[in-house]
Structure 1
């Protein structure tokens, strides 16, 4: 028998054939580029950063959003106002010479692309192409189609989705990119399937499409859905579809089953034209299958890009003890052997940095020794930012029990989301009316990349209170976990998988209504969180260590991108590789 041994499987051990094109309406690319609004965009950016680190052959398409999402301003009463975030793409990107056109309401719109090269840890480049319609020759309206992320009405949204999906596909071809796999990150890019079909037909009538033509398109497409909230799935009226897309395309989409309850449903379109679909957490996969029972929907749990979201003090600590974590985040599991004192010291430095940022933004000096909770995310009613204030008197008693309690809030409400804006005002009003010097509540304006990193690294406990089952995944708690910060959260989204009670944090038990769940939240603060923080710093440090080791080593995009590569992008290649490995092993035996 040969003395050679077969290598264990790794992504690097076989070269995938073909290029992946990743389409997302928003991508958090660079802190200076306001091309994202929240979790979906940050997840997309982290995905591409890990793809670059791992050497995955991938390119990405998004819209330029030259006027950004918005800069948030809050007055003393918590009233939100918005300011345009104009930026210059030439400061970050290179303009490509290629030009393509798309048809919007029978108008021909010219599109260009700006390229941003995202470099991985070993020098691999993932090019990101930001599509832009601000060109001479386009009408004033059409020049603004790529200005605002999630701006305007549903007419504007559908026109943007033509530019992203159909324009992105044509731009890839114009750039000479030979793509094998198209990944639609949410339904915003679903119209690329229609463009693929038109390309398959060589410009012929859509009515001539055969089942084999449709299968060719499906074989190239994968799709990730990100929300169990019905309003999160883009839907357009039949009138809008006929007017904006045109009669022939709309008629075909109706025949293909992309309409649901009389509306063009972009999630339905993506599901009908993909060979693989997934939700973004185990629970979300279940919910998605219930929402769309005719489709097989897998689940790949989200993650975050560790080098982006780990604080400098924690990175330095990890580099000293586990330098291999940068190559493979699974090595973060070995953080279980780092001395507790070093974990606590690294967190203390991150907390000092956070409180210095709070002071710089607000003038308020908070106490680094006081238990500090963090709650920051996009403001939507189902996320229940006000749950902590259900019983203000009890919250004050908890602050007294703890010898002080500090709660840091942040988050933007969409400019057209009046209930979300009302939630911000309610939280700010509650903050002003606590009547206790021991309870400090601060709402920090303009939640963005830099503030998110400071908060998730510097608070002592990350709080999340979504109404089940509307949290698809959530990633802010994952960023906290990478920094050793435990969560106190509703068992929904990723936390169902990440919660080990008393080891990585605490679960807020389900209740019959909001009041019952607030009661359960207070109980956990009183009985578990506050006593441990006050009376057992060594055990608190052990919890931080296990949080980092157990959750940090799993809930990262290093692991997530490997799962996409093996399960969505190249499953046939994986099977072929496994057969070769099995045959080689059999020959040796």
Structure 2
């Protein structure tokens, strides 16, 4: 984007004093030492807020405090996963806010306070995050732990949590003096906020009196991003739970509003019913979502990552020399195409050394910097198919011996209740034990999180992704890798459909009839193209690294993503008259 176009966008992104966006997410990756996220959804939320602060967008965010975090992963020598809590103290890191608000859960009044964390942008603008907490003395002991564990407990616990977030969050923002113009639900966990917005709109009238006109007024203030084509990712609760936990008035309203599906209260349908703008998180995911929910208009805004957060220190220094405004204007990364190849190679070498040192410390395994290293790190869900790479392990052994070495780094957690996911981890580790040798090194690193993820995406030579189509909504790890000059080898799903240029930004695993065919395509790319390039034509390999930065790093970032939300979701009406003279600031500069 040119400076002229960016100035135009800044002018477009303006409105009256009440033009603030309220961003709601069950999880937000705020800092590495605050375990308030589980994976991609939370990291995306954190990156969104960091870019909103960089752009000066008037935004406020709401989430839960998650005092016990997600979980610490422990892997024994045989690959069995166990888990423990990640307790942390918001009292030591956050600022307590004064207001106390209440919501009704199962007929009980539950008090909620908030902790504040400020996200500071590159221009000095601040986006506050309010983390809701029910650990108050006046609450029933059963309710004091509602904001403790991210994705913990049973369905009752989950619906109670979503009540605190969805019904309590807007009340807290009002108590703090905010009057948002737009509420953005990042996934369906926050869908109950639509009921809170409706209650505010009714100004004392009961929910039973709400009309379609009232529903339409709520829709005008709400936008919704759906993140998964996997059915289990869409929260559903029995009507008994809905009536018992939410109360008769609220549950009856949601039934009347068409938010129930197949006899269940469906959080995705609540959000769909009450939003004027709905999007998937990649072009392909938009198509899949429209097929899943054919009665609703669903578009797409492809995810991104926060460039300054996920670019390694060595590459940041290179970018600073050649493109000093890249943090303020991520599209400037397009000019990475002119960075000398030797500087790209040196920066990547620095990132790879940091990764090798970390592997030695974490796993006690000595890896070599001059050996081709593949990274595979993500949530250990079965559809991610972590073991597809080992469909023919003897072929991998042969490759490693033929080309002089191959190193494979795995990492990823399975949800504590996901037994098939745990089985995938165990299988990969068993294969690692069986086939690792001097030429073929396979290491599974436990407790995948922010810092380890940054080391992996900044230090491997190739990023591998093998999801079962069409279950990859977007994926963002490969975007982080691209910022560090790491090309991808991936199934054509999620973001890779848009980022793939064969032999330029990476390679596509062919969509064949079965897993054996897809694994064969993966091996063919390694044997015939990727390993020969890396070991025999290093200058050409460095050109591919540079292209990954220039073509994918410059686009697949949350700065571009936020700009699309501004013009398509948050303030589309501003397109009618976008002259600077007629618009008042949304952006606080």
Q: Does 1:420 align with 2:389?
A: no
Q: Flag the structure with more relative contact order, 1 or 2, with Cα contacts below 8 A and sequence separation at least 6.
A: 2
Helix, strand or coil: the match of 2:415?
A: coil
Q: Which residue of the partner structure matches residue 494 of structure 2? A: 493
Q: Give distance in 1, aligned partners of 2:495 and 2:565.
A: 17
Q: Give distance in 1, aligned partners of 2:479 and 2:5.
A: 35
Post-superposition offset of 1:215: 1.0
Helix, strand or coil: the match of 1:90?
A: helix
Q: Which residue of the partner structure matches residue 586 of structure 1? A: none
Q: Which residue of the partner structure matches residue 262 of structure 1? A: 263
Q: Give distance in 1, aligned partners of 2:175 and 2:401.
A: 65
The 5 Å alignment of 1:63-212 reads 63-212=64-213
The 5 Å alignment of 1:138-537 reads 138-434=139-435, 436-537=437-538
Q: Give distance in 2, aligned partners of 1:534 and 1:567.
A: 45
Q: Give distance in 1, aligned partners of 2:156 and 2:5.
A: 57
Post-superposition offset of 1:141: 0.9
Q: Give distance in 1, aligned partners of 2:265 and 2:547.
A: 47
Helix, strand or coil: the match of 1:512?
A: coil
Post-superposition offset of 1:16: 3.1
TM, length-normalised to structure 1: 0.96
Post-superposition offset of 1:575: 2.5
Q: Which residue of the partner structure matches residue 14 of structure 2? A: 15
Query: 2:69, 2:85 within 8 Å by CA — same for their partners in 1?
Result: yes
Post-superposition offset of 1:13: 6.0
Query: 1:11, 1:562 within 8 Å by CA — same for their partners in 2?
Result: no
Worse overlay, 210-219 or 109-118: 210-219
The alpha-carbon distance between structure 1 residues 14 and 468, as it changes in their structure 2 partners (threshold 3 A), is closer
Post-superposition offset of 1:207: 1.9
Name the Cα RMSD after superposition: 1.4
Helix, strand or coil: the match of 1:433?
A: helix
Post-superposition offset of 1:197: 1.1
After superposition, the C-alpha distances for 1:528-559 in whole angstroms (9 at most, x for unaligned) are 11111111000000000000000000000011
Post-superposition offset of 1:206: 1.5
Q: Give distance in 1, aligned partners of 2:11 and 2:429.
A: 50
Query: 2:13, 2:567 within 8 Å by CA — same for their partners in 1?
Result: no
The alpha-carbon distance between structure 1 residues 375 and 199, as it changes in their structure 2 partners (threshold 3 A), is same
Post-superposition offset of 1:580: 7.7
The alpha-carbon distance between structure 1 residues 124 and 7, as it changes in their structure 2 partners (threshold 3 A), is closer
Helix, strand or coil: the match of 1:30?
A: coil
Worse overlay, 433-442 or 356-365: 433-442
Query: 2:12, 2:578 within 8 Å by CA — same for their partners in 1?
Result: no
The alpha-carbon distance between structure 1 residues 327 and 230, as it changes in their structure 2 partners (threshold 3 A), is same
Q: Give distance in 2, aligned partners of 1:573 and 1:419.
A: 48
Post-superposition offset of 1:115: 0.3
Q: Give distance in 2, aligned partners of 1:214 and 1:240.
A: 23
Helix, strand or coil: the match of 2:8?
A: coil
Query: 1:371, 1:402 within 8 Å by CA — same for their partners in 2?
Result: no
Q: Which residue of the partner structure matches residue 574 of structure 1? A: 575
After superposition, the C-alpha distances for 1:382-408 in whole angstroms (9 at most, x for unaligned) are 000000111111111111122110000
The alpha-carbon distance between structure 1 residues 485 and 207, as it changes in their structure 2 partners (threshold 3 A), is same
Gaps of 5+ in 1: 582-589
Query: 2:512, 2:518 within 8 Å by CA — same for their partners in 1?
Result: yes
The alpha-carbon distance between structure 1 residues 28 and 14, as it changes in their structure 2 partners (threshold 3 A), is closer
The alpha-carbon distance between structure 1 residues 515 and 145, as it changes in their structure 2 partners (threshold 3 A), is same
Q: Give distance in 2, aligned partners of 1:396 and 1:203.
A: 70
After superposition, the C-alpha distances for 1:6-28 in whole angstroms (9 at most, x for unaligned) are 99622256523311000000000
Post-superposition offset of 1:250: 1.2
Q: Which residue of the partner structure matches residue 555 of structure 1? A: 556
Gaps of 5+ in 2: 583-589
Q: Give distance in 2, aligned partners of 1:320 and 1:16.
A: 36
Q: Give distance in 1, aligned partners of 2:441 and 2:5.
A: 59
TM, length-normalised to structure 2: 0.96
Q: Give distance in 1, aligned partners of 2:177 and 2:11.
A: 26
Q: Give distance in 2, aligned partners of 1:572 and 1:327.
A: 26
Q: Give distance in 2, aligned partners of 1:235 and 1:578.
A: 45
Helix, strand or coil: the match of 1:407?
A: strand
Q: Give distance in 2, aligned partners of 1:66 and 1:574.
A: 43
After superposition, the C-alpha distances for 1:227-284 in whole angstroms (9 at most, x for unaligned) are 0011100000111111111112111111111001111110111011001010000000
Post-superposition offset of 1:363: 1.5
Helix, strand or coil: the match of 1:469?
A: coil
Helix, strand or coil: the match of 1:78?
A: coil
Worse overlay, 427-436 or 223-232: 427-436
Q: Give distance in 2, aligned partners of 1:361 and 1:517.
A: 32
Q: Give distance in 1, aligned partners of 2:374 and 2:328.
A: 32
The alpha-carbon distance between structure 1 residues 35 and 274, as it changes in their structure 2 partners (threshold 3 A), is same
Q: Does 1:41 align with 2:47?
A: no
Query: 1:133, 1:142 within 8 Å by CA — same for their partners in 2?
Result: yes
Post-superposition offset of 1:571: 0.7
Q: Which residue of the partner structure matches residue 584 of structure 1? A: none
Post-superposition offset of 1:574: 2.8
Q: Give distance in 1, aligned partners of 2:547 and 2:90.
A: 42
Post-superposition offset of 1:347: 0.3
Q: Which residue of the partner structure matches residue 587 of structure 1? A: none
Post-superposition offset of 1:203: 3.0
